[in-house]
């Protein structure tokens, strides 16, 4: 078990460019979550997958954001036409429903800087 | 809507001091409550949890008790160490499983040797 892995760790881009982040969850976990964390704040929920189905999306997830989990394993988060306000840490988490509660395991995150 | 309010930081203490970080929540029903910790350069780690009223979560010398009557989940440790320096997040999840986690804004803790 290598934990939740995110790639890249850092991304610097110019305003208007598209970026894509990848998340590899813990292998037996069927649930995958994306959060966004800005400086000095707690993480905010963006979206959630159970297997390959995207079951919930936050109002924070504008039309420029899209997430996929095509085979129920890894997930990608794409931001189109990036804006400076998109600069944040993007966190991925995964969990497995064993009846013991919603314990989510987090990756180290991808830090996005939009210039 | 559901929310979590926690003590603002930064909090600076000397080694072996007693720690309390206050956390209160607003939610309908009976959410699960968590404390997560974020060490420098690392991802969020679950520190402890409690899933029903009067439950006490504990780990690494830290404790927190789910108080339904005061809607609180304060984090305590009797004797802090330099290695406890980190950012601590109080959080809730409204259902027993599958739901998003709602986090507080975090409290930065620094421990002086």
Condensed to tens digits (0 to 9), the pLDDT of residues A52-104 reads: 999 889 988 889 999 999 988 999 999 999 999 999 999 999 988 765 556 88
pLDDT number for residue B97: 46
What pLDDT score does B30 carry? 86
Burial of B57 (0-12, 13-18, 19+ CB in 10 A): buried
pLDDT value of position A98: 65
pLDDT per 10-residue tile (average), chain B, 113 residues: 90 96 92 93 91 94 96 97 96 74 95 95
Nearest to B90 by CA among B30, B50, B53, B60: B50
Q: Is the pLDDT of residue A1 over 60?
A: no
* CA–centroid distance for A92 within its chain: 4
**How many Cβ atoms are within 10 Å of B53's Cβ, its own excluded?**
12
Query: How many Å is the maximal CA-CA distance in chain B?
Result: 42
pLDDT at A21 exceeding the cut of 90: yes
If one compares A48 and B41, the residue with the highest pLDDT of the two is A48
pLDDT score of A99: 59
CB contact under 8 A, A42 and B103: yes
B69 Cβ contact partners less than 8 Å away, ≥ 6 residues apart = none
Q: How many CB pairs under 8 A join A and B?
A: 67
Q: How many angstroms away from the CA of A108 is the closest CA of chain B?
A: 4
């Amino acid at each position: 078990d290598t934990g939740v892995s995110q790639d890249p760790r850092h991304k610097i881009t110019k305003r208007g460019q598209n970026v894509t982040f990848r998340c590899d969850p813990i292998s037996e976990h069927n649930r995958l979550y994306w959060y966004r964390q800005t400086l000095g704040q707690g993480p905010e929920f963006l979206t959630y997958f159970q297997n390959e189905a995207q079951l919930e999306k936050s109002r924070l997830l504008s039309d420029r954001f899209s997430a996929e989990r095509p085979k129920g394993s890894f997930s990608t988060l794409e931001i189109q036409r990036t804006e400076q306000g998109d600069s944040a840490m993007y966190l991925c988490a995964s969990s497995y429903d064993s009846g013991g509660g919603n314990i989510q395991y987090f990756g180290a995150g991808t830090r996005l800087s939009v210039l | 809507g559901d929310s979590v309010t926690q003590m603002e930081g930064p909090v600076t203490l000397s080694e072996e001091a007693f720690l309390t970080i206050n956390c209160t929540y607003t939610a309908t029903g009976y959410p699960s409550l968590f404390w997560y910790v974020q060490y420098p350069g690392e991802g969020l780690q679950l520190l402890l949890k409690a899933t029903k009223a009067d439950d006490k979560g504990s780990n690494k010398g830290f404790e927190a008790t789910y108080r339904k009557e005061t809607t609180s989940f304060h984090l305590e440790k009797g004797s802090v160490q330099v290695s406890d320096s980190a950012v601590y997040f109080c959080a809730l999840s409204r259902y027993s499983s599958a739901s998003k986690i709602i986090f507080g804004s975090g409290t930065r803790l620094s421990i002086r040797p």
